[in-house]
Every structure is written in structure tokens, then in C-alpha cells.
Amino acid sequence: MYIPTLLPLLSTLTEKIFNSAATPPTQFPGHVLYTLNDGNQIPSPFFGVGSVLKGSNVTENALLSFKTGYRALDESAIYFNEDTAGLAIAASGIAREALYITTKFDALHGQDVEAEISSSLEKLGVSYVDLYLIHAPVFVKDPLDVWRKMEALVEQGFTRSIGVSNYDATQLSELLSIARIKPAVNQIRYHAYNAQSHQPLLDLAKKEGILIEAYSSLTPITSAPGGPADSIVEKVAKRLSKATGKIITPGQATLGWLCSKGIVAVTTSSKEERLKEQLVPFEKDFPAWTEKEIREYEAFPGWNETI
């Protein structure tokens, strides 16, 4: 899609987006839906505009993700591309309530959480986000102060849900001890080689009803190929291919691993074919991994300490 041809549409669409209240999302075809501990629903997978896309113009990338069928966007103030993602949101013509938008607090305005989300909303061209996360504990000076400010954002209608990212079990427990509104989500780096070390965190999250979102789950394929989990995921991909009658790639099987564990996937790609592929494991009736396959796949903790 060529952006300049869409510019005349932007003001009307932006107006439409600004005028919509914080209405619950209505539909996410092709996504798996989870219910958060605050009663709101969240779709999986997310299209992320961080990591490789950080600091770049992501309008075309986000539009491509929408065209492919993605309806959930993972953003952050520190990705420095909320403005260009906002152009894609406006140009997409998709109703605000049919999109799920996450962005994150990065202390770019000191500890002024309201100033930071206001800046994000303005850049994104929306009047609320669906989920606002503290990007990492390091951005928080006083946990009580910042969490109260996060809670106030829900009451003020800036966001429908709040949560955290990159919190370990100790940090999450500390937060739970002061929270009036529990974090709905913890977004973490999660892949075959660190899954076992995250188990205490996953157990705590389950007990407290906190949903786990995973990023960099393709690590065994992308930055750490050749590891012992490869043969397991290839074996599972073969079984899934037989079961579905389609060719299922190791990448698709990896995202299916997250679905089987009830974990939200945050992934990305610059390629249309791959984006389409990545949606397949979220289709209704896509077969789950067995418990034995999951155990085998996660059996190499810390295999490559550099990842």
C-alpha cells in the first residue's frame, strides 16, 4: 500500500479513532483469545515492532501485518516508532475495537506515567490502549508510586488493562504485595532453552491468574540454530504436518508450542509469506503439542548461555 495516496483518508479515520470510547474489542478472527484476570480479553499472536524494527518507520510493516490478518500490535515508547505505527492504524481503516494495541512505559518522562502514556496515545492516534506494560523493572524508581499511577490509568480510561514485562518471580511477588489492581500480563523472553528456568515465574503467574506473553520464542531457529531442541521441533512439525495435511514448518510448530502452553505469542516478520505462515498455529483446531513433546523440547536448559 502506498501511503501518500492514503493521506486524504487519515483525518477522517483519525477522527473516528479518537471519538471511539474504550469499548471492549468485539472480534479477532484467526486469533486465539484469552481472558485476563481483569475480565478483558486478549488475542494471540501479536505483531511486534520492537527488536529489529526499533527506531525505524514501521508504517508499511504494520499495514502488512494488518493485511495479513494480524489485529494485535506490540509497541513501546522506547521503540521510537509509535508515530509511524499510528499512521498505519489510521490508514488501515480497521475499527478501533477490532484492534488490540499494547504499548509500554519506559520512563522517557521520568516517573510521570500519565505524561508518558499521553504522549504514546497522541503518537498512536488513539484515545486508549488495550494494554499498558511497565517495560522492565529497571524503569521504576518507587514501585508503589508507579503502580498506583498505572492503576489510575485504568480508572481514567487511558488503558483497559495494565501489566509488566521482564519481571522475575521475586519482582512480581513484590508488585503483587502492593497492587490494588493485579498485573494482567507479564511479557517475557521465553524460548526452549530458558523455559525451565522460568518455571517458578510461570507457576506464580498461574496461581495469580497473570497471563504470560512470550517474545523471542523463535530464538532456537533465529539466533541459536543447531541446538539440541532442533530435532525435537522438527519431529513435532512432521507430526503436525501429518495431522493437518499441510506442511508445518519448525517456526510454526514453535508458535504452536506457545499456544499449547496457554502463552501469548509476540512475534514479527518483514515478510508477507512468513507473516501468513505465523498465523496458522492460531487457527481453530490446530493440534496441540503433547506433554511428552513439551518435556522433550524444554529438556536443555541453558544450552547456549549467550542467548
Q: Which residue is nearest to ligand NAP (CB)?
A: 48
Omega into 301 within 30° of 0, i.e. cis? no
**Minimum distance from residue 5 beta carbon to ligand NAP (Å):** 25
- 100 assigned to active site: no
CA distances from 254 to 60, 125, 159, 219, 307 (A): 26, 33, 31, 10, 17
Residue closer to ligand NAP by CB (options 48, 137) is 48
Q: Residue 279: name the closest of 25, 11, 72 by CA.
A: 72
Q: Residue 77: name the closest of 17, 141, 144, 133 by CA.
A: 133
| Complete DSSP assignment for 26-74 | ---TTSEEEE-TTS-EEEEPEEE-SGGGTTS--HHHHHHHHHHT--EEE
Interface with ligand NAP includes 269 (CB under 6 A)? Answer: yes
Helices (H) and strands (E) in the chain, counts: 12, 11
Which position among 70, 79, 128, 190 bears the catalytic label? Answer: 79
Residue closer to ligand NAP by CB (options 154, 253) is 253
Interface with ligand NAP includes 51 (CB under 6 A)? Answer: yes
**Minimum distance from residue 229 beta carbon to ligand NAP (Å):** 14
Residue closer to ligand NAP by CB (options 6, 215) is 215
**Minimum distance from residue 230 beta carbon to ligand NAP (Å):** 12
Using CB under 6 A, which residues numbered 134 to 173 contact ligand NAP?
135, 165-166
Interface with ligand NAP includes 215 (CB under 6 A)? Answer: yes
The count of residues in the chain is: 307
**Collapsing DSSP states into helix, strand and coil, what is residue 212?**
strand
Sites of contact with ligand NAP (CB under 6 A): 48-53, 74, 135, 165-166, 187, 215-219, 221-222, 249, 251, 266-271, 274
Just list the catalytic residues. Answer: 79
